[in-house]
């Protein structure tokens, strides 16, 4: 019987449910921090349908309360050894205030709550591949910097950048041992493609499947990396028991992800749909009006040629027998799932609280 007890914030979201399932498979006691009884029942039903080994407990939390509406000294938290924070809002078009509340204030409150748990050995915080690695010494941001960053990056990405710095700074000031995980675009399960994400790359895949993608964005160096949700869950379940991961950040993505135009051509051929012959360089796409491109301006910063420092994450994973599944197979299974689930996914905005 494992001595680990994980408290998972955001347990009902796309990433959170797979993380809970993986922890249960490893024999970890899991408490899901959820907003309502209904959301927990949906999680429990999903776990039962996905052969989870055991069941999770749950506790109701209120992110609008500075103390999350719960007492860290109560018996239900006495044995918690690790806290996973995958809560937050993944949505474009948010106001700056909403993004700050969902992704900065909530994350800081989780860190402060974790600092009061007597048996805590690790806090694991989910950040992002384009926002990780921020300088905690620059916290707190003043209002002018926040306004500038949120306007330049968009409210979602700006809030994730600030959150990354705030989590590190708060954890260090309170003596909370932490690991930050920076995943790429999280696609479906490597086995069956199952996914709940409808934004970002998923939206481009759906436009392609409907014949509504006017052109292939980017060039042969445009890199929008992916990671399967089950691999990410396994990595997150690994780091709390790995001493070298304490107070470290890891970029978790598959470097073998094809360049974006090649990725979309491959999926178009697999789905047997027309693939646009026209290609639009990222720089030009960013200058064109959204009405013409059909792209949300906040998504365009992801059209980048940058590469990311994945060596440490790969070394840690491979040392424990964790390997990325074949990326093209995973992408095809994900695309198949998205297309099959389209009626249910239409118009979905994803939040992981």
Cis peptide before 328 (omega within 30 of 0): no
- Model confidence, pTM: 0.92
pLDDT band, very low/low/confident/very high, at 351 (cuts 50, 70, 90): very low
For residue 127, which of 119, 118, 136 has the smallest C-alpha distance? 136
Beta bridge partners of 84: 8, 124
Instruction: Report whether pLDDT(349) > 70.
Output: no
Task: Show the DSSP H helices in the chain as ranges.
Answer: 14-25, 37-49, 96-100, 106-114, 143-153, 155-174, 201-210, 229-238, 260-271, 282-287, 290-293, 311-319, 327-340, 342-345
Residues, the chain, total? Answer: 353
pLDDT at position 328 is: 98
Range in 31-45, 259-273, 286-300 the model is least confident about: 286-300
State how beta strands 89-90 and 226-228 pair.
unpaired
> Could you tell me which residues come within 8 angstroms of residue 74 by beta carbon, excluding any fewer than 6 positions away?
none
Once rounded to an integer, what is the mean pLDDT over residues 272-279?
91
pLDDT at position 81 is: 98
Convert the pLDDT of each residue in 43-55 to its tens digit.
Answer: 999 999 999 888 8
pLDDT at position 302 is: 66
DSSP for 10-24? TTTSHHHHHHHHHHH
Structure tokens at 205: 């895949």
pLDDT band, very low/low/confident/very high, at 304 (cuts 50, 70, 90): confident
Convert the pLDDT of each residue in 159-187 to its tens digit.
Answer: 999 999 999 999 999 999 999 999 999 99
Once rounded to an integer, what is the mean pLDDT over residues 227-239?
98
pLDDT at position 198 is: 83
pLDDT at position 149 is: 93
pLDDT at position 353 is: 36
pLDDT at position 280 is: 77
Beta bridge partners of 58: 32
Instruction: Report whether pLDDT(296) > 90.
Output: no
Range in 77-86, 310-319, 343-352 the model is least confident about: 343-352
Mean pLDDT of the chain: 91
């Amino acid at each position: 019987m494992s001595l680990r007890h994980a408290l998972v914030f955001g347990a009902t979201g796309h990433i959170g449910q797979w993380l809970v399932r993986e922890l249960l498979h490893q024999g970890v006691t899991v408490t899901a921090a959820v907003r309502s009884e209904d959301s927990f029942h949906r999680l429990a039903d999903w776990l039962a349908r996905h052969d989870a080994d055991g069941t999770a407990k749950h506790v109701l939390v209120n992110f609008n309360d500075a103390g999350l509406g719960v007492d860290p000294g109560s018996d239900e938290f006495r044995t918690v050894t690790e806290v996973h924070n995958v809560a937050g809002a993944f949505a474009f078009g948010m106001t700056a205030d909403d993004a700050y509340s969902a992704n900065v204030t909530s994350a800081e409150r989780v860190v402060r709550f974790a600092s009061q748990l007597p048996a805590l050995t690790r806090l694991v915080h989910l950040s992002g591949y384009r926002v990780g690695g921020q300088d905690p010494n620059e916290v707190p941001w003043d209002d002018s910097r926040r306004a500038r960053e949120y306007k330049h990056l968009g409210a979602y990405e700006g809030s994730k950048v600030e959150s990354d710095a705030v989590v590190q700074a708060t954890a260090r000031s309170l003596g909370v041992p932490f690991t930050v995980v920076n995943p790429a675009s999280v696609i479906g399960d490597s086995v069956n493609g199952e996914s709940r994400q409808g934004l970002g790359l998923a939206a481009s895949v759906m436009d392609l499947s409907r014949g509504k993608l006017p052109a292939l964005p980017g060039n042969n160096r445009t890199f929008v990396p992916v990671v399967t949700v089950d691999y990410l869950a396994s990595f997150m379940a690994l780091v709390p028991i790995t001493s070298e991961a304490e107070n470290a950040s890891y970029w978790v993505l598959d470097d073998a992800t094809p360049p974006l135009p090649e990725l979309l051509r491959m999926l178009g051929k697999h789905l047997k749909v027309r693939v646009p012959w026209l290609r639009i360089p990222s720089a030009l796409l960013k200058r064109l009006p959204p009405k013409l491109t059909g792209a949300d301006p906040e998504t365009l910063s992801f059209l980048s040629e940058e590469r990311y420092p994945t060596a440490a994450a790969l070394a840690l994973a491979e040392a424990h027998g964790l390997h990325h599944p074949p990326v093209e197979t995973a992408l095809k299974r994900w695309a198949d799932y998205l297309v099959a689930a389209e009626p249910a996914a239409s118009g979905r905005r994803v939040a992981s609280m």
